[in-house]
Amino acid sequence: MTQQQLTEKYLTADKNFIKRITKPNALNSKEVFFEIIKWWRNISTSNSIGDLNQMNKNTPLIYLQLGSSSYYINADSTKAGIKEFYNNINNPWKIIINENGIKNKVTNTIDEKPIEGFYMYKEL
């Protein structure tokens, strides 16, 4: 898929937000997911991946189905959080404890610390 095809399919018309990817239409590739966030990061002037005037901040915006594991990333994930997650592209994903004490938050930092502004979770 070319950059133009990808941005037309996955970004809003103004290129500021990522279009909602529902559970039945979940992405099934980390590579496509990283391409989407790369182009959003490079093009968008918005600070969040979702249009927070149209949805709640903790609205799942993107679903991923990787093998038997399902993940979602919330609409309020920020440009800084996305950049850090993307910069760690070669690190393994780790599941850590979220702010409510549930072990379902995704990070890819070497020290397994949460990424500020990055709200991705594994479905339990």
Number of folded domains in the chain?
1
Q: What is the mean pLDDT of residues 55-78?
A: 96
**In angstroms, rounded to a whole number, what is the distance separating the alpha carbons of residues 115 and 95?**
12
Q: Is the pLDDT score of 82 beyond 90?
A: yes
Give the three-class secondary structure for 95: strand
What band does 57 get if pLDDT is binned at 50, 70 and 90?
confident
Residue 103 has pLDDT above 90, yes or no: yes
Nearest of 94, 40, 54, 51 to residue 71 by alpha carbon: 94
Give the pLDDT of residue 1. 83
| Tokens of residue 101, six digits | 């004490």
Specify the pLDDT at position 117.
98
Q: Name the pTM for this structure.
A: 0.95
| Residue 118 to residue 73: CA distance in whole angstroms | 8
Which domain range does residue 39 map to? 3-122
